Amino acid sequence: MNRRTYLAVVIMIAASTLFAVYVSLRIIIQTNQLVGEDRDEHGCMSSAGYSWCDQKQKCLRAWEEQCN
């Protein structure tokens, strides 16, 4: 592969990546829904693995800390 072909491929990959990011951001802005906005009634973020522990009165991840 010569240098000109390599440069063209790199530019096409970069342009495709930037376009995909642009489209994704447009969808997020249009739906007005940001990633990580899924808190429950206690404020625990389930998408990050948190759930409410009544005994400790806080959000925690079961694989990091026991709820007992």
Per residue in 31-68, pLDDT tens?
Answer: 665 556 778 899 999 888 999 999 999 999 999 999 98
d(CA 19, CA 24): 9
What's the whole-model pTM score?
0.47
pLDDT of residue 3: 93
> Mean of the pLDDT values across residues 23-29?
81
pLDDT of residue 36: 60
d(CA 19, CA 11): 12
Secondary structure letter of residue 18 according to DSSP: H
Of residues 27 and 19, more confidence is placed in 19
Residues ≥6 apart with Cβ < 8 Å to 36: 45, 47, 48
